[in-house]
């Protein structure tokens, strides 16, 4: 990390508010492998930090908020709340190794029997497996979790499934009225990790967890700061 005039911070060559287009961001994601939407990893860039605040939520092609679903939609990066309940983008090159290094080798049913997964997570994953790309509203209905008092349990289960690399956020679906016009907030849609990878021509990582971690470290070295690497090692319990 390096500080220059007016408190502008550079993380390994990336200046804050220096990125304007989706294509520029795609190049950065490809190079650094992991890009959080908001500040998360110390001495490491984020989409929020790299882009101009005035471009967010404008609805234009320069709106970084809209890019978050272009990445998974175009097969350029996996997207979801994979780290500390925070949303990140993982490049398509890094994603198979990331899944092997962070995800569980046990099925959701095995984890539930071992007390490592919630009943709600099991229910939601079973539905998503059968309805790839299902949006949040329909998923809540299918899981019988539409009631207000079940919203927290639903949200927690969806986040749990992302953290365990069982599902990814694959896009958003607009709510429309009877005339087909946009009406209200858009709804997040989900796919299983395996379906998203297969759909985008990605194969599973050939190796075990330790080999996947070593592969990721080899990519991080020289690009990520030592502080960022150390933070990631601690968060994921990597050696």
Question: Tell me: the pLDDT tens digits for 194-217?
Answer: 999 999 999 999 999 999 999 999
Q: Read off the DSSP letter of residue 199.
A: H
Residue 3 is predicted with a pLDDT of 38
Under the banding of pLDDT at 50, 70 and 90, the label for residue 175 is low
Under the banding of pLDDT at 50, 70 and 90, the label for residue 179 is low
Q: List, edge to edge, every strand of the sheet that includes 187-192.
A: 134-135, 187-192, 167-173
Among the residue ranges 97-101, 104-108, 117-121, 122-126, the one predicted with the least confidence is 104-108
- The Cα 179–Cα 83 span in angstroms is 39
- Fold classified for 104-164+166-199: Arc Repressor Mutant, subunit A (1.10.10)
Residue 181 is predicted with a pLDDT of 58
- The Cα 80–Cα 100 span in angstroms is 16
Q: Count other C-beta atoms under 10 Å from residue 113's C-beta.
A: 12
By CB atoms closer than 10 A (0-12, 13-18, 19+), residue 10 is middle
| Spatial CB neighbours of 7, under 8 Å, sequence gap ≥ 6 | none
For the chain, domain boundaries: 2-101+204-229, 104-164+166-199
Task: Give the mean pLDDT of the chain.
Answer: 91
Residue 239 is predicted with a pLDDT of 79
Q: Pinpoint the alpha helices (H) of the chain.
A: 22-32, 47-50, 64-73, 95-102, 108-113, 119-130, 136-142, 151-163, 193-199, 209-220, 226-236
pLDDT, one tens digit per residue, over 120-144 is 999 999 999 999 999 999 999 999 9
Do 70 and 122 meet the contact criterion of CB atoms below 8 Å apart?
Answer: no
Q: What's the pTM value of the predicted model, to 2 decimals? A: 0.90
Instruction: Judge whether residue 173 has pLDDT over 80.
Output: no
pLDDT, one tens digit per residue, over 4-35 is 333 334 455 677 778 999 999 999 999 999 99
Under the banding of pLDDT at 50, 70 and 90, the label for residue 174 is low
């Amino acid at each position: 990390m390096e500080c220059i005039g007016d408190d502008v911070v550079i993380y390994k060559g990336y200046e804050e508010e220096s990125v304007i287009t989706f294509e520029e961001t795609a190049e950065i994601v490809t190079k650094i492998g992991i890009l959080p939407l908001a500040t998360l990893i110390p001495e490491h860039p984020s989409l929020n930090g790299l882009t101009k605040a005035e471009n967010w939520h404008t609805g234009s092609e320069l709106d970084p908020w809209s890019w978050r679903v272009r990445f998974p939609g175009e097969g350029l990066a996996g997207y979801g709340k994979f780290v500390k309940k925070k949303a990140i983008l993982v490049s398509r090159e890094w994603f198979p190794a990331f899944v092997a290094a962070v995800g569980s080798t046990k099925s959701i049913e095995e984890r539930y029997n071992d007390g490592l997964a919630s009943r709600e997570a099991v229910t939601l994953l079973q539905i998503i497996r059968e309805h790839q790309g299902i949006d949040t509203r329909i998923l809540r209905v299918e899981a019988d979790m539409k009631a207000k008092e079940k919203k927290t349990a639903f949200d927690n289960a969806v986040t749990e499934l992302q953290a365990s690399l069982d599902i990814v956020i694959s896009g958003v679906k607009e709510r429309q009225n009877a005339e087909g016009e946009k009406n209200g907030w858009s709804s997040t849609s989900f796919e299983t990790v395996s379906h998203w990878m297969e759909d985008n021509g990605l194969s599973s990582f050939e190796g075990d967890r330790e080999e996947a971690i070593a592969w990721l470290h080899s990519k991080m070295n020289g690009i990520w700061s030592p502080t960022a690497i150390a933070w990631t090692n601690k968060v994921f319990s990597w050696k």
